[in-house]
Amino acid sequence: MHTLPLLVEPDALEPLLAKPDLLIVDLCQTNNYTEAHVPGAVHLEYANLLLGTKPAPGLLPDAARLSATLSAIGLTPDKHVVAYDVEGGGRACRFIWTLDALGHPASSLLNGGLFTWANEGHPLSQQPVTPAPSNYSASISDRVVATRDYIVKHLSDAQVALLDARTPEEYNGSSVRAARGGHIPGAVNLNWLDTIDKTRNYRLLPDDVLRTLVTDRGLRDDQEIITYCQTHHRSAHSYVMLRHLGFDKAKGYPGAWAEWGNSPDTPVEL
């Protein structure tokens, strides 16, 4: 298995495209995949990573459904996954977080996704890839998964912090996308878009800039930091960003604001 970093650059990936122990996974829309994708990449429908039912569509599907999804793309425990999309990395990062929740040993995010790959002259393909199905057995652990009850229990725990990856308007309650607006008490706000460098093909900002953004909000690497947004799409990107910076206790809350804001008995701050 390759020892690629969590955040991999196109120049490092291109020489490895034909390696059999590498599985490149495209999480773009189907039409984007058809138009152009990284050679050898298999396509994965993003909806298959979500439970998809209201009020909390971002919750994880059960292990049986995840097993079927990952078997269909030919994933095996010995393969190193490289994930990408064409919308800033949220979908790809949700896949990486899901793999972490299943204990899959190795995965990477293509920094900038298809933007960097295509705009910097790397090869593209229109040839669809039909993977040989595998027999992947998914088992969900709570190592990187935070539930609503877990968060409620730890709201006063100084070693547990909350990072809200939504817009400032969602955070302060002026934009309401659930029964109630606002944020989870004690959460700090870092809009996921503010961690992306659009001038460098949607890569993450440089590490020193990212770390300043995080630490200026009072977050520490000895804390367990739980990220959330509306459905744990944007906040999955924040989760991977934290992991990349060495915040090894990061978790994601897949119920996210869709669950919290629609629950009548959870506390809310504006």
- Residue (of 97, 73, 78) closest to 6 by Cα position: 97
Residue of 81, 187, 229, 242 marked catalytic: 229
Question: Cα–Cα distance between 158 and 215 in angstroms, integer?
Answer: 15
Report the alpha-carbon distance of residue 256 to residue 200 in Å, rounded.
Answer: 29
Per the annotation, the verdict on 229 as an active-site residue is yes
**What end-to-end distance do the CA atoms of the chain give, in Å?**
47
CA atoms within 13 A on the CB side of 261: 24
Which residues carry out catalysis? 229
